[in-house]
Amino acid sequence: MTESQPPLIVAITGASGAPYAVRLLEQLVTARRPVSLIVSSHGERLLKTETPFASIEALRAHIGAAAWDAVVRVYDDHDRGAAPASGSALSAGMVICPCSMGTVSAIAHGSSRSLIERAADVVLKERRPLIVVPRETPLSSIHLENLLTLTRAGAVVLPAMPGFYHQPATVDALVDFVVARILDHLGVPHNVGRRWAGET
């Protein structure tokens, strides 16, 4: 694990959208960005349901064990004493991708029942970047109020809503659209997707 910069906390929860998380992790490992990875039990089930990876170990093998081990450290979501639970442990911020509405609610109300929720609470109180990537439709007034609460607290709400102006021909292109926006907000250089350059 490199010590050159504080890690980015990446969390995967139970909302549909596991391919976004896989692509994001691929890009962060490629960019050699230190990552503190936390996957909830529902997030693990999501990976099994929506991707070919039945475990975190399978995802590690897909990305490349050597590259993964150089930058990724995995934490148990039940370990409330892990480093991401403390403000004194430096981080570069946090991305929750995908972010379930249950997780949104818990963070918005400060309940901190898990390491993911506590880490997000810490990131907000320390005024570090928090990006939540919700994937839910339709949205109830409860969902909207909770997302507004997070926005007012300083989080970036970046819904998994791909655009179509780049005329995507594959599901991967739709995934890349959202992941590129996440990477942009993290300040991570990338070549994912095609940027809008204006009409010709």
- Is 193 a domain residue? no
Question: Residue 136 corresponds to which tokens in the numbers above?
Answer: 């839910």
Residue 127 backbone zone (phi > 0: left; psi -120 to 50: alpha; other: beta): left
The answer as to whether 200 is a domain residue is no
User: Is 194 inside a domain boundary?
Assistant: no
pLDDT in tens, 87-103: 999 999 999 999 999 99
Domain of 31, in residue numbers: 8-186
Look at the chain and report how many structural domains it folds into.
1
Look up the CATH number of the domain holding residue 132: 3.40.50.1950
* Dist. CA 101–CA 118, nearest whole Å: 16
DSSP state, 200?
Answer: -
Look up the pTM and report it.
Answer: 0.95
Q: Provide the greatest CA pair distance for the chain.
A: 54
* Segment 133-166, tens digit of pLDDT: 999 999 999 999 999 999 999 999 999 999 998 8
Is 139 within a domain? yes
Q: Could you give the dihedral angle defined by the CA atoms of residues 157, 69, 174 and 77, in that order, rounded to the nearest 10 degrees?
A: -40
